[in-house]
Amino acid sequence: MATFSSTLFLLHISSCFLLSCCSPDISPDNDGGGGGGRKGLVPALFIFGDSLIDNGNNNNLASLAKANYYPYGIDFADGPTGRFSNGYTIVDEIASLLGLPLIPAYSEASGKGLLHGVNYASAAAGILDDTGRNFLARIPFNEQIKNFESTLNQISTNLSVDAVGQSIADSILYIGMGSNDYLNNYLMPNYDTRSRYNPTQFSDLLIQHYYHQLTSLYNLGARKFVLAGLGSLGCVPNILALNMLLQCSEEIDKSLILPFNRKMKLMVDRLNYNFPSARFTYIDNYHMFMDIINNPETYGFHVINSGCCGIGRNNGQLTCLPYETPCPNREQYVFWDAFHPTEKTNVIMAKKAFRGGDDVVYPINIEQLVNLKLI
């Protein structure tokens, strides 16, 4: 149930926020896109997740999970901002496709910077609060939701209830959580999670928490949700580095990732049934990503089993070190470092999520979600 305070937040969103979808954008980006001068398709984009889409929220934390140093951001206009990529993340491209400027990190957003949305994602964060503790400070999903509630308070001013509700309902929430709950929890030797839960029980636990967290966002007024399924963990350079043949680990994907994704898709059906005034859509990142891995030349890639920068075998044992020299031919690499895709991979996947068929985005794609008129 929505709290009294959160109801007040929904009664007082700024008129600028409501009208931002009609306002010209002047925010720069690195390819001339990002909404410069275009009419936004939605009022705002709010982002929740982990290092795949973090854009600087960990920079000022006492965290070991940071990317605010060169060569991260080598192909990004503002340099190393905290993005775990050489350039765009998937949500940067989605913002551009929505006609919005690049969405600011919660740690830096204030005033007019809040008008088109906020990115709350934090490297090492998970669905479970305990996930990622090896990296010290991080912002779990539960705390990201509280930060979203705080944002609604920050941009508050007098406005009609109907106008506020419509503005929030028309905005997109992108949520990409769960990878760290496996990589930096279930698979970590210093966690007792595997002794307490078998894979089926653990995925059930994650889905149970996830459902309640999404319900909290619904109670704050959100109505259009994009939920990113997990990509392959068995094919990331870090896992490949453990295999002398540099082959994907089918065991990790088949026993952990694919069962979680199947339950997540069922959760989307359940959410759409239980909340008919909202719409939840699921991005099948796993199959999109595996199509790239299995058909790299179709997408112009030549290196699928190594990071463009990093340390150790196939640049996969550690992420990029400060001032390390990355590969010069970044357009040919699927992976930027031991865990994260290159900008090129991110852009390809974002475009598929935005306009793809129900084989990769279920039940509707992001463009259809934008145009959907909800009750």
Active site residues per annotation: 51, 337, 340
Average pLDDT estimate for 246-275: 96
Residues 284-308 have pLDDT tens digits of 999 999 999 999 999 999 999 999 9
Q: Kindly tell me if the per-residue pLDDT of 18 is higher than 90.
A: no
Residues 80-107 have pLDDT tens digits of 999 999 999 999 999 999 999 999 999 9
Q: Kindly tell me if the per-residue pLDDT of 164 is higher than 60.
A: no
> What is 4-231+253-284's CATH topology?
Rossmann fold (3.40.50)
Please state, rounded to an integer, the average pLDDT across all residues of the chain: 89
- Distance from chain centroid for Cα 29: 19
Tokens of 101: 């400027």
DSSP bridge pairs for 49: 176
- Distance from chain centroid for Cα 274: 24
| DSSP three-state, residue 304 | strand
C-alpha span between 75 and 108 (Å, rounded): 21
Q: What spatial distance separates the first Cα and last Cα of the chain, rounded to whole Å?
A: 20
Average pLDDT estimate for 215-223: 96
At 99 the pLDDT is: 98
At 5 the pLDDT is: 32
